[in-house]
């Protein structure tokens, strides 16, 4: 029986782009990047894959938490405080999402090329 790779469901976040298109909010166009995760529906999740996802998620979580404080201070310098808080959370989300994607891609590439740890 084939197991479902739940990482592929992250690609559903790319549907938020349609809301941005309909409402004219161009800030939502960045969610189209989640379409990359469609490819994981065709990858069978074995133990090494799940370990790579765990490693990537750990790095992404830590970078997201660490980047929140500096982005909060830097956004409060450039924006008023009511706009700085949502902007800093958005930047932290972007940092953690990009980190997760790049670390997972690097670990998969390392696995595919056969490089050992």
Distance CA 2, CA 25 (A): 39
pTM of the entire predicted model = 0.84
List, in order, residues 6 or more apart from 97 with CB less than 8 Å away.
Answer: 33, 60
Q: Helices marked H in the chain — which ranges?
A: 16-23, 47-78, 81-113
Residues 2-33 have pLDDT tens digits of 788 999 999 999 999 999 999 999 888 999 99
pLDDT computed for residue 117 by the predictor: 54
Residues 25-48 have pLDDT tens digits of 988 899 999 999 999 999 989 999
Q: Which residue has the tokens 């808080």?
A: 85
% the chain with pLDDT above 90: 76
For the CA atoms of 50, 54, 59, 63, the dihedral, rounded to the nearest 10 degrees, stands at: 120
Alpha-carbon radius of gyration of the chain: 17
């Amino acid at each position: 029986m084939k197991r479902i790779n739940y990482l592929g469901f992250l690609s559903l976040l790319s549907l938020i782009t349609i809301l941005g298109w309909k409402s004219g909010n161009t800030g939502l166009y960045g969610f189209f990047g989640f379409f990359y995760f469609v490819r994981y529906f065709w990858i069978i999740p074995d133990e090494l894959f799940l370990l790579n996802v765990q490693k990537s998620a750990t790095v992404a979580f830590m970078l997201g938490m660490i980047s929140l404080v500096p982005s909060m201070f830097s956004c409060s310098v450039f924006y008023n405080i009511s706009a700085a808080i949502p902007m800093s959370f958005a930047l932290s989300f972007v940092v953690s999402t990009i980190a997760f994607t790049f670390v997972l891609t690097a670990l998969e590439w390392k696995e595919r090329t056969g490089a050992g740890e």
